[in-house]
Structure 1
Amino acid sequence: MSAGRLLVNSGTFAAMTAHGDIHGTRGTATDGLFARDARHLSRWLLTAADATPDPLSTPAPATLPTPPPLLNAPIPATPANVSAPAAPPTPLTLLTSSGDGCVLTPAGTRDHPPAYTVFRRQAVAEGALTERIRLVSNSGEPIVVELELHVDADFADQFELRADHRAYDKPGARRTAHDTPDGVAFHYRRGETWSSRTTVTAAPPPHRTRPADDSTGTGRVLTWRLALPAHGTADLRLTALAVPHGTGEPTPPGSPDTVRKQLEADTGEFVGARPRPRDLTSWEELARACEQGLADLARLRVPISGPGGEALRVPAAGVPWFLGLFGRDSLLTSLFALPYRPALAADTLLALAAVQGTRNDPARLEQPGRIVHEVRHGELAHFRQVPYGRYYGSVDATPLFLVLLEAHATATGDPGTARRLEPHARAAVEWMFRDGGLGGHGGHSGRGYLRYTSDAAGGGLVNQNWKDSADAIRFSDGTLAEGALAVCEVQGYAYDALVRTARLARTVWDDPRWADFLEEEAASLRDRFRRDFWMPGHAFPALALDGEDRRVDTLASDAGHLLWSGILAPEEERAVGLRLLRPDFFSGFGIRTLASGQVPYHPLSYHRGSIWPHDNAVIVLGLARCGLTEQADTLAHGLVRAAAGHGWRLPEVMAGYGRDEHPDPVPYPHSSSPQAWAAATPLALLTALREAPAGRGEDYASPKTSQTSNSWPETGL
């Protein structure tokens, strides 16, 4: 995402420059107004032409970048009954920019300062961008200012905009634009089954509208001539309403100030609810990271319907590419936040139950009982040009669903959600044995592991654990693992899911026989896992078993998740916990996904040497569970140090360089931020350290421990 401003609210987001502009870029610097996986504004560029008789120099025309044309989409001819431009546009100079606004001026000098100043305020609401432009005269004489807004909507699917330069055929696609009395309306159709639109309105209406001088065929330039009294003001209000396919017209959002106040109230209610992290620790830096994380989680919540059509708000995975329901991400995020904001967990469980697999559909890997990996609403998913409309390519979302279900009942003391979702839990367990591989060849009794095979031939994911990049699972010599892979951390999740579901069966569902069965299967899984995965020469578990049951012998952070799930023996847990804090794993900011020095290690790869905060959060919880409090404290301090280096907002992923190589955390070039499970990571640290020993310095004060016995919430973790 380009440097600038990012506005997020209720499943809609706008990425723009510090000036408040949108240029229609692609790749890692993609900008625009996005709703339901489509870009509804690809150009939103404000320029000015000073129409006063001031004889100062005339600036050169601004150069507008040309957005790429829509693939295979014939564009009708532009109407001819529009006026010609009166004067070349003048670029505006940025004086300052904040989260939702900026201050601009036309060109000026010390002796001839700008005649006026432009104050832009912008906000995003569900399906809408709203903007107020206020011109303030700096002159003692009346002046007239001509403003131009270059606007366009390319309706590009997010998958088209990524940096991999993929192209998709779009037979029968057409984009049109037509002028309205108070703005312009953009329409997009593809065949008879897909349509979406964006409407732009202005008050006051533009004085004239003309086609933009670009290659899209739909771009428009709206022009206003605004009279400014001496030292007076003039206002221009703009609204862009996005109407994605299958949705209704959104409610006009009101002014940016109105939307901002509503959003601040909503965020403040979420952040300020009890229990408040600041009341639970005297570690100021951790408290700040928790508060930033809660604020990000509040704004990453997206509206989704539950099994009965009820309105829910679940944590989306992150922006820009993942503002929607993602099984694994939403589940782990909700687990981290569970002791503090349990409503996230309840809504996530219900939302995932609503889209749980019910049939066999190989094109999207759906199977009965399987928990979804991600849900998309874009054009390419609709036409099945990508499999992600409702894609089930996740080997770990199903056991994590069961883990969260029991954890929520424990943490809240309310078994209501567990009772309601009993059929969904039973279907999830059945999937693990029947289709997931836990039942081996028999399908119903434990002899196997949860496994996955590559879905690359179907356009889906090669790897279906959390390290889902295509090259993530390698042997220590760099060879890619192939076949039906059993990744180590997933077996731990499965073990934990069986143990926790047995607890629900015994205490909530009144089914002791099934509870006995699940406990027996969990014990069997634990025994064979320690036999098949443990590498005595390394005193460490293998990353995975490949399709021929060979141990993938790379030393990876996945092993730390086993400390959390409890599948290892105590002496093995201690060996793993101590090993993860050695310098080849621990960078000073976090534990690397792979220990350095191995052939596959790369500090700038996505999953082979980078540092993921959420990965570390699970490890910290595991270290605390195993009583390795010194190691948990060391790792937590590194992560909080990293948060401080990122303005208290942990990113999705960081480069794997250590503090001995650079004193500050090195950013990963393509990291998403904010991202939900990174935002929730400080909350997991707070949970893990509730009984940690005193801190080690003035810069990082220790957590409170005196309150834990009475005021600390039940975690369920």
Structure 2
Amino acid sequence: MLQPLLHDLVSTVMAPASALSDADGQIRPAGVQGLFCADRRVLSQARLLVDGREPESIGYAPGAAGQARFVSLTRWLGDPTTDPTVRIERSRELSPFGMGEQVEIVSTASSPVTATVTVELACDFAAVEAVKSGRSGTPVPAGEAGDGRLTWHADTTRVTVTGHGAHATAGDGARLRWEVSLPPRGRATLRWELAVEDPTAVVVPPNATLEWSPPHVTAGDRRVTRLLDQSLEDLRSLRLAEPGEPGDAFLAAGAPWFLTLFGRDSIWAARMLLPLGTRLAAGTLRVLARRQGRRLDPDSGEAPGKIMHELRRDAFDLDDKGGRLPAAYYGTIDATPLWISLLHDAWRWGLPDSEVRALLPNLQAALGWLADHADPDGDGFLEYIDSSGRGLANQGWKDSGDSVRFHDGRQAEPPIALAEVQGYAHQAALHGAALLDAFDLPGGDRWRDYAGALAERFRAAFWVDGPHGPFPALALDRDKRPVNSLTSNIGHLLGTGLLSREESAQVAGLLAAPGMAEAFGLRTMSSEEGGFSPLSYHCGSVWPHDTAIVIAGLAREGFDEQATTLAEGLLAAAESFGYRLPELFAGDARDLVGRPVAYPAACRPQAWSAAAAVVIAHAAAGLYPDVPAGRVELRPLSGAPLGALAAGLRVADAEVEVRVDHDGAATVKGLPAGLRLEEAVTPSSPRP
């Protein structure tokens, strides 16, 4: 069966709950529409009727986190004039385990108005993976609890709907009904609420205190602030914690399919938000450390020291071809080195030594996985293969089954060694060595030697020739042949230290060439490759987080022009998507389509897509702290491409203001005591 489309639906989220409706606010019993909570659909219909008819929609607008407002008309009511005189204002607000709606009937008519308002309700308790695969559950009859209340039960989950002042009808045709009488120019307010009791949920809302500080950004390019405002609201709606540990928050990957802990996604989102504080990173690190692998299990992919990929309530059916992930799944090749680098980067941004020290045993275990389990064939590269036959065939961030392709479009056979993963491992080894040295633990020299040897092996095995010069291949296949397609993966190598200055310049130039950068951001695969399609999930689309990671690497290495080009593409896309960047969108050329084309099954909001806004603002400000060393570097993007900018970032739990004027000159105020400012020198390198 086909996966339901998402791009035209309105998504309202307050994790672990998410509601998907049509643009008129109606939740219809079709496709993916409904209210989901902790991997179950707890409401499959919520259809508002006035006198048995659906109001006519005229617009909707998202509000703060977890809120949306829909406006419609009932033109058969009120005065018989050209102008409508009765409108319906439907305000939706989600809580982590529930949803409430306020329905206001507003009349400007000169005569009284009477109407019968009903809300038709249904619940099927369908598992989220079933809905994702195009299936649905069997509706469960509602029970009546009195006083305008209806209930549904499944296993340990209980759903209760309360209609204040409503008459409730139970059974298969569950509904709430109100009789409304309005005087001339009158108004009536109706309200109904849904609450979920779910003691077996594996994710819960965190403490109320937000883990990051608003960055207080102003910019000459107003798109930056609009994108930040919407993105931070979306990120606030994606916060989660584990039961029993509400103080350790992490970000769910995205709505509606991934409102849970995802190792790679949660790590990257926390890493991108480090300029706003270290508390989110600390919570993410601790949550994943508690679930760090302890044994070898080919079915789940678990191994000692390995960081997990995905957490679910129950085993998760990937598709109708037998793919099935266990509830706790470890099938990821990159989450472990990324966890190491998140710990290191949080330390550099000011995570207290006591919190870092508590995680050092987990750091040593993660390095142990890197040494003992990440390279099963002993060729010196990190590689993966799904030995269970039921898990993910590809276990990097491009985890679709067809994402690793040669230049001619052929798919590579596993085991697969991805290019960017070697960069992550190189950086993790250096980061791990720095932490071991700083906390008087042995092994630093071993990991520096590991990084140096890996860089030499990578240089010899991955670099291939292409029509525009040499470049790193996407991967090595099972026969150690370079998978010779040009992809965005190589952009993740920037800033990892794996490349020389000349190699970085070559990569930067290729990423900024039209085949990669002529869309609204960075394409996942060059348009010159045989496997390219602008609507391929991983072979030609644009992923905002992918583009943001490359922007950060380009900016850090001094390739400001290329970073600016990609940032401009994302800002243009954000404007088109109402400043809520989706998981991905089509990789069509900008001069061909004028505005980005939606990928029809993209999740929105998505944590690392929203976090891309922080990456853009941070790259423009150019503040790079090293709190343990007592220094802060300042190197904003040259030429102030976003116009004059002011950003209140957070270093060592203190607000630090960076100002960049129209000419690109930068100043800093509010550095904590003990930190000295160093103006970073742009690294000299050949032009791409």
In 2: Cα distance, 1:502 partner to 1:362 partner: 30
Aligned match for 1:118, one of 68, 76, 88: 88
Deviations for 1:476-521, whole angstroms, at most 9, x for unmatched residues?
122111121100000100010010011000002x11x311111111
Query: Could you tell me which amino acid in structure 2 is paired with residue 39 of structure 1?
Result: R
- Following superposition, the deviation at residue 562 of structure 1 comes to 0.8
In the alignment, what sits opposite 2:72? Answer: 104
Which of the residues 143, 157, 160 maps onto 1:178? 143
The answer to whether the Cα contact below 8 Å between 1:176 and 1:188 also exists between their aligned partners in 2 is no
Aligned to 2:160: 199
Higher strand proportion: 2
Could you tell me which residue of structure 2 aligns to residue 649 of structure 1?
580
Is 1:485 paired with 2:416? yes
- Cα separation, 1, equivalents of 2:522 and 2:110: 62
Q: Secondary structure at the match of 1:133?
A: strand
Give 1:448 deviation, angstroms.
Answer: 1.8
Counterpart CA distance in 2 for 1:229 and 1:292 is 39
1:518 pairs, out of 447, 452, 477, with 447
1:328 aligned counterpart, secondary structure? helix
Q: Bigger shift: 460-469 or 586-595?
A: 586-595
Quickly say closer, same or farther: Cα 1:696–1:233, change in 2 above 3 A: closer
Within a 5 Å distance, the mapping from 1:45-84 to structure 2 comes to 45-49=47-51
Paired residue for 2:594?
Answer: 663
Q: Whole-Å Cα distance in 2 between the matches of residues 413 and 375 of structure 1?
A: 26
2:28 alignment partner AA: H
For 1:535, the equivalent position in structure 2 comes to 464
Deviation at 1:232, TM superposition (A): 3.9
Give the unaligned 5+ runs of structure 2.
1-5, 63-67, 623-635, 647-658, 681-688
- The partner residue of 2:282 within 321, 332, 346 is 346
2:47/2:119 contact within 8 Å kept: yes
Matched residue, 2:433: 502
Deviations 1:454-496 (A, max 9, x none): 36721x2110001111000011122111121100000100010
Q: Are 1:484 and 1:546, in contact at CA under 8 Å, matched by a contact in 2?
A: yes
Displacement of 1:378 in angstroms is 5.1
Q: 2:169 aligns with which of 175, 188, 209?
A: 209
The letter of the residue matching 1:617 is A
Q: How does 1:77-156 map to 2 (within 5 A)?
A: 89-99=52-62, 100-108=68-76, 111=80, 116-138=86-108, 144-156=114-126
Please say if residues 637 and 700 of structure 1, whose CA atoms lie closer than 8 Å, have aligned partners that are also in contact: no
Shift in alpha-carbon separation, 1:625–1:699, aligned structure 2, 3 A? closer
TM-score (norm 2): 0.84
For 1:413 and 1:200, the matched residues in 2 are separated by 44
Decide whether aligned partners of structure 1 residues 222 and 491 sit closer, same or farther in structure 2, where only a CA change above 3 A counts: same
Partner of 2:382: 450
Shift of 1:709: 5.5
- 1:53 alignment counterpart: none
Q: Which blocks of at least 5 consecutive residues in structure 1 are unaligned?
A: 50-88, 212-217, 252-262, 442-446
| Larger mean Cα displacement after TM superposition, 102-111 or 615-624 | 102-111
> Could you tell me which amino acid in structure 2 is paired with residue 468 of structure 1?
D
Superimposed CA distance per residue, residues 292-317 of structure 1 (whole angstroms, 9 cap, x where no aligned partner): 322221222123358xx353221111
Task: State how 1:310-325 maps to structure 2 within 5 Å.
Answer: 310-325=246-261
Q: Compared with structure 1, are the counterparts of its residues 116 and 588 closer, same or farther at alpha carbon in structure 2 (3 Å cutoff)?
A: closer
SS of 2:241 mapped into structure 1: strand
Partner of 1:299 in structure 2?
A: 237
Q: Secondary structure at the match of 1:148?
A: strand
Q: 1:8 aligns with which of 3, 8, 13?
A: 13
In the aligned structure 2, how far is the partner of 1:646 from the partner of 1:233? 34
1:84-106 deviations in Å (ceiling 9; x for gaps) = xxxxx122223443332233343
- Corresponding residue of 2:24: 19
Which stretch shows the higher mean deviation, 653-662 or 497-506? 653-662
Cα pair distance change 1:242/1:686, threshold 3 Å: same
SS in 2 for 1:291: helix
Supply the AA of the counterpart residue of 1:106: T
Q: Is the 8 A contact 2:298 2:388 kept in 1?
A: no
* Secondary structure of the structure 2 residue equivalent to 1:242: strand
Question: Match of 2:484?
Answer: 553
Deviation at 1:10, TM superposition (A): 3.5
CA contact (8 A) 1:338 1:408 kept: yes
| AA aligned opposite 2:484 | D
Asked if the contact 1:174/1:188 (under 8 Å) is kept, the reply is no
Counting only pairs closer than 5 Å after superposition, residues 559-708 of structure 1 correspond to structure 2 as: 559-689=490-620, 690=622, 691-695=636-640, 704=661, 705-707=664-666
User: Does structure 2 conserve the Cα–Cα contact (< 8 Å) formed by 1:304 and 1:314?
Assistant: no
1:137 offset after TM fit, Å?
4.8
Measured against aligned partners, the alpha-carbon deviations of 1:622-645 in whole angstroms (never above 9, x if no partner) come to: 212322222222222222222223
SS of match in other structure, 2:276:
coil
Whether the aligned pair in 1 keeps the contact of 2:645 and 2:660 (CA below 8 Å) is no
How far apart are residue 274 of structure 1 and its match? Answer: 5.4
Q: CA RMSD in A?
A: 3.2
Amino acid at match of 1:461: L
Pick aligned residue for 2:370 from 432, 438, 457 = 432
Query: What is the CA deviation profile of residues 32-64 of structure 1, one whole-angstrom value per residue up to 9, with x for unaligned ones?
Result: 111101110001111122xxxxxxxxxxxxxxx
| Shift of residue 224, structure 1, vs aligned partner | 2.7
Change (3 A) 1:629 1:121: closer
Query: Could you tell me whether the CA contact under 8 Å between 2:278 and 2:350 is conserved in 1?
Result: yes
Q: Name the amino acid aligned to 1:146.
A: T
State the AA in 1 paired with 2:301: L
CA contact (8 A) 1:546 1:552 kept: yes
Q: Which letter does structure 1 place at the counterpart of 2:230? A: Q
- Provide, for residues 440-460 of structure 1, a one-character-per-residue CA deviation record: whole Å limited to 9, x for no partner: 54xxxxx521111136721x2
Q: 1:165 to 1:19 in 2, by over 3 A?
A: closer
Q: Distance in 2 between matches of 1:698 and 1:497?
A: 35
SS in 2 for 1:615: helix
TM-score relative to the length of structure 1 = 0.81
Letter in 1 for 2:50: A
Find the aligned partners of 1:137 and 1:658 in 2 and give their Cα distance: 48
Output the amino acid matched with 2:143: H
Q: Distance in 1 between matches of 2:86 and 2:54?
A: 14
Matched AA of 2:60: S
Relative distance call for 1:709 and 1:530 in structure 2 (3 A) is farther
Determine the structure 1 residue equivalent to 2:297: 361
| Cα distance in 1 between the residues matched to 2:641 and 2:305 | 48
Q: How far did residue 182 of structure 1 move?
A: 2.6
CA distance, structure 1, for counterparts of residue 523 and residue 671 of structure 2 = 31
Q: State how far apart, in whole Å, the 1-side matches of 2:272 and 2:343 are.
A: 13
Offset at residue 204 of structure 1 (A): 0.9
The code of the aligned residue for 2:386 comes to S
Give 1:387 deviation, angstroms: 1.5
| Mapped partners of 2:237, 2:561: distance in 1 | 34
Quick check: which has more Rg, 1 or 2? Answer: 1
Do 1:270 and 1:295's aligned partners in 2 also have CA atoms closer than 8 Å?
Answer: no
**Matched residues in 2 for 1:2 and 1:571: separation?**
41
Q: Match for 2:90: what amino acid?
A: R
Overall identity of the aligned pairs, in %: 34
- State the alpha-carbon separation in 2 of the partners of residues 275 and 141 from structure 1: 51
1:413 and 1:199 mapped to 2: Cα distance? 43
- Find 1:187's aligned residue among 152, 159, 168: 152
Counterparts of 1:161-310 in structure 2 under 5 Å? Answer: 161-162=131-132, 164-165=133-134, 175-189=140-154, 194-206=155-167, 209=169, 211=171, 218-244=172-198, 246=200, 273=213, 275-278=215-218, 282-305=220-243, 309-310=245-246
Question: CA 1:381–1:425 in 2, change beyond 3 Å: closer, same or farther?
Answer: farther
Q: Distance in 2 between matches of 1:374 and 1:584?
A: 33
Per-residue CA distance 1:139-178 (angstroms, 9 max, x = gap): 566554222221111111111112x4469xx9xx994421
Partner Cα distance (1:18, 1:567) in 2: 47
Q: What amino acid maps onto 1:160 in structure 2?
A: A
SS in structure 1 at match of 2:592: coil
In structure 2, what is the Cα distance between the partners aligned to 1:117 and 1:390? 48
Supply the AA of the counterpart residue of 2:264: R
